[in-house]
Structure 1
Amino acid sequence: MKRRTFNAVTLASLGMLSASSIGLAQTMQPQGKKPVVVVLIYPGMILLDLTGPLTCFNMMMADVHLAWKTNDPVKTDTGISIAPTTTFAQCPQDADILFVPGGLGGTTAMIEDQEVLDFVQARGSNATYITSVCTGSLVLGAAGLLQGKRATSHWYTRDLLPIFGATPVSERVVVDGNVITGAGVTAGLDFGLAIAAKLLGEDAAKSIQLLLEYDPEPPFTAGSPEKAGHDLTAALLKRRKPALDGARAAAERWHPRTKL
């Protein structure tokens, strides 16, 4: 499937879901104002980190802007490319939500990309909510937006958060003031529902959850190090060690810098 075809099919499918959301837009904000969501997309991000929250944003009838440096499609971890809807230069200055998805390799590159950090810092300083899922919190941290905040990340990078002045928390979704961070990958739906509850109220968020039939019953109890056990966790960490070492090195190279 061509990338533009994929984007069109995806958006059309999301549109059908949002059309079934029983008038949630009318309850969202005064005068039916749509919330503005600015999403950083970048090469190497995890597609599910994006599409889980994006589904919830769409159900909220949000005005979503997928921002990158250029209009060129960016390739995700799956090999599927996502086309930006705006460039950094053209992206709205103010947003109700700034959202950064994760993806270990892509994140490592982004925390050393000053153009990206400048964009995230600028949009974050004007956003009502500063948010992320998975390793996206490392980008928020490198942009100076997590100082003194409680936050989470994917379990295998959570220990890097203190480098950026944040307090790591082992929870699925962490809310600290206007900073809302989600844990790894599949936590994107939990995160999206938490955002919906913030903006529309709990009943509307529950309606979205019901419409999405988000009622997980995983076939295995191995979704966290505590449940997976030592041997499985150690084996995964061994396989991911080069990428994790690269992320730590990038974070530690950031550390000597003063404020952005």
Structure 2
Amino acid sequence: MKIIIYLYNGITMLDAIGPYEVLRNMPDAEVYFVAEKTGEIKADSGFIDLNVKYSIDDMKSADVLIIPGSTIAFVKEMKNEKVLRWIKEVDKTTKWTTSVCTGSMILASAGLQIF
């Protein structure tokens, strides 16, 4: 099962790492951290950085797509047309597209219905 966790500068790390820690233990799970561009992603706390190896240009499909939240950085992501288009395209391939906390606002900005 291919699982993508989308990362962006200013995310709340728990919103990404929490799902990762649970889902990585599923049989046959392949979890990928993906960002708009490869490289360093900074947490909203300023204490943790992650080096992301995959960009949205590298990943076009998934079984599960997770969009983490943030304290305020989600507002910028809600306006990022390239990312919103990518979310809509990946969503067409997923069994589950989901979010944590304010990540739901990003999904709503992409035009996805939130349940």
Deviation at 1:85, TM superposition (A): 2.6
SS of equivalent residue, structure 2 residue 111: coil
Residue from 73, 76, 83 that aligns with 2:40: 73
Mapped to 1, the partners of 2:83 and 2:71 lie a distance apart of 16
Q: Give the alignment's TM-score, normalised by structure 1.
A: 0.42
* Match in the other structure for 1:55: 21
RMSD, matched Cα: 1.2
Runs of 4+ in structure 1 displaced over 4 angstroms? Answer: none
> Deviation of residue 57 (structure 1)?
1.0
SS of aligned partner of 1:54:
helix
Computing the radius of gyration from Cα coordinates, the structure with the larger value is 1
Q: Is 1:95 matched with 2:23?
A: no
Q: Secondary structure at the match of 1:83?
A: strand
Q: Whose helix proportion is higher, 1 or 2?
A: 1
Structure 2: gaps (5+ residues): none
Which position in structure 1 is the counterpart of 2:78?
111
From 36, 49, 52, the counterpart of 1:84: 52
Aligned twin of 1:37? 3
Instruction: Using the aligned pairs only, state the percent identity.
Output: 27
* C-alpha contact 2:39 2:53 (8 A) present in aligned 1: no
- Give the aligned residue type for 2:24: N
Partner amino acid, structure 1, of 2:55 = T
Say which structure, 1 or 2, has more relative contact order (CA 8 Å, 6+ apart). Answer: 2
Q: Which has the higher strand share?
A: 2
Q: Number of residue pairs matched?
A: 113
AA partner of residue 130 (structure 1): T
